[in-house]
Every structure is written in structure tokens, then in C-alpha cells.
Amino acid sequence: MADIESARTAFERFDQNGDGRITAAEYKSAMAQLGDPYVTETVAQAVINAHDGNGDGELTFDEFWASQNKGLNRTGPAGAGPARRAGGPREADRAVRGAAPGAQDSGAAG
């Protein structure tokens, strides 16, 4: 589980000018410092957009925190039960096999 203090530390690492928002340029630069120089600004923007709740192209701590907690608190319509198939495979009619013709007759022979 992500805890808010480590999230804030991480956030501050990204938010290089300390204005409380992570821009694509800051994200890219932070990733380069963390050893990933292959994150281009385009990629950075895409990552931010994926978590950007209000669509302003920058990540606030709230948005960052929400992204850390994704999957823990799912919001959405709940309670859709498993749909049952109507007319599922119906059991094959059991052929009632009674006494087979030519039942073995055990008993006295001849």
C-alpha cells in the first residue's frame, strides 16, 4: 500500500520547481536523473495525461496520489451480478434404459 509520505517525497522529486505541479518537462528531467534518459517529453506528457484528473496537462499532488492508489479504491457501478445464460446447455434427455434385452439369466443351466 502506498503511503502518503513516500508519495509526497516522490512527488517533490518530480516537481522540480516546487510549484506543486509536475509538468512534462519536469517529469522527463526527473526520470533522466533517476537513470531513465529515454523518457522523452512526449512520453512524459502521455504519462501525465494518463493520471491527469482535470485535464490541465499537469499533475498536482492529488492527481499523483490518486494514481498511486489506483486499484485500491475502485469507483464505479457495483453490484452487477454475473449474467446467467438463459437456456444453457440442457441436460441430454436421459434415455431410460431399463432392463436390457436378453438379460443375463443366471441360474441353473440345462
CB-CB contact of 27 with 42 (8 Å):
no
Q: Binding to Ca ion by residue 15, rule CB under 5 A?
A: yes
Q: Binding to Ca ion by residue 11, rule CB under 5 A?
A: no
HEC-encoded secondary structure of 55-66 = CCCCEEHHHHHH
Please report how close the Cβ of residue 76 comes to Ca ion at its closest, in angstroms.
Answer: 21
* Torsional sign, CA 43, 44, 49, 55: negative
Q: Binding to Ca ion by residue 27, rule CB under 5 A?
A: no
Please report how close the Cβ of residue 49 comes to Ca ion at its closest, in angstroms.
Answer: 9
Which of these ranges, 3-11, 14-22, 65-73, 84-92, lies near Ca ion under the rule CB under 5 A? 14-22
Q: Binding to Ca ion by residue 62, rule CB under 5 A?
A: no
Q: Binding to Ca ion by residue 36, rule CB under 5 A?
A: no
Instruction: Give every CB contact of residue 19 below 8 A, 6+ residues apart in sequence.
Output: none
Among 36, 41, 56, 62, binds Ca ion (CB under 5 A): 56
Instruction: Give every CB contact of residue 23 below 8 A, 6+ residues apart in sequence.
Output: 48, 57, 58
Q: Which residues bind Ca ion (CB under 5 A)?
A: 15, 17, 19, 21, 26, 52, 54, 56, 63
